[in-house]
Amino acid sequence: MTQLNLLCLPYSGASAMVYSRWRRQLPPWLHLQPVELPGRGSRYAEPLHTDMRGLARQLALEVRATLRAPYALFGHSLGALLACELAHALRALGCPEPVALFASGTAAPTRRSEYDRGFAEPKTDAQLIEQLRTLNGTREEVLANEELMSLTLPILRADFLLCGSFRPLQRPLLNCPVHVLGGKADRATAEQLIAWSQETHGSFSVDMLAGGHFFIHEHEAKVLSLLKGHLDVQRRRHLQPAAVIS
């Protein structure tokens, strides 16, 4: 059975381990590979990045050594933008493109100026906490925990700057399918989500799920069902043995 590798990139303030529980719910042919970012989780001692393309280049160089084709990329919020940049960075290194790019819960690269308005400047701790509160993904007792916040807020501040300083480039489009997931109560508009179609020559889809910004956790089973459905199609097209990318 050909194994398809799914690289998952985290959202702002999070470690890639937010995806670890998915392993128990994926079929044997789909291998989950969370991509940890510098400055969090097992890489907490490393410097945080505030330049999206610099981070994507670093990650591309790191994952290239063990990356096996076929592979797909998934990212939520910040992770979606970073997954797109990682696809371009891997292609620049001579690697094949992913068989699919999943962009979840955020506006397309060409619509960042309206989506990330106000994120280009560093936010105070109070502003960051209020942002977390509006996203409705962090419990109040966590927000009130000064020790936890002292660890989380520097990461969140850098991640917001990653998005706020991002500017789209004129470059060759991807050729892989792009599948977009959105929350019906999230702030990303239909137009901002559909604009992801401008990133590829390949096929494109949008699926809207109930819930707000963290619909990937609120409706995890539905998200994983969509991922498995799209990727099973790609797996059947890549039945030859997987090869190490070099």
CB neighbours (10 Å) of residue 133? 12
**Most distant CA pair in the chain, distance:** 53
- Given a contact cutoff of 8 angstroms between Cβ atoms, the answer to whether 102 and 179 are in contact is yes
Residue 77 is among the residues annotated as catalytic for this protein: yes
What pLDDT, in 10s, does the model give residues 80-97?
Answer: 999 999 999 999 999 999
Q: Which of 31-40, 51-60, 119-128, 150-159 has the lowest mean pLDDT?
A: 119-128
Residue ranges and CATH numbers for the domains of the chain are 4-244 (3.40.50.1820)
What is the sign of the dihedral through the CA atoms of 209, 213, 215 and 218? Answer: negative
What is the sign of the dihedral through the CA atoms of 197, 200, 205 and 210? Answer: negative
| Predicted pLDDT at 244 | 53
| Predicted pLDDT at 236 | 86
Q: What is the DSSP letter of 2?
A: -
For residue 70, whether the previous peptide bond is cis, meaning omega lies within 30 degrees of 0, is yes
Torsion of CA 216, 219, 223, 229, to 10 degrees: 180
| Predicted pLDDT at 245 | 61
Query: One of 77, 197, 203, 246 is an active-site residue; which one?
Result: 77
| Predicted pLDDT at 21 | 93
| Predicted pLDDT at 217 | 93
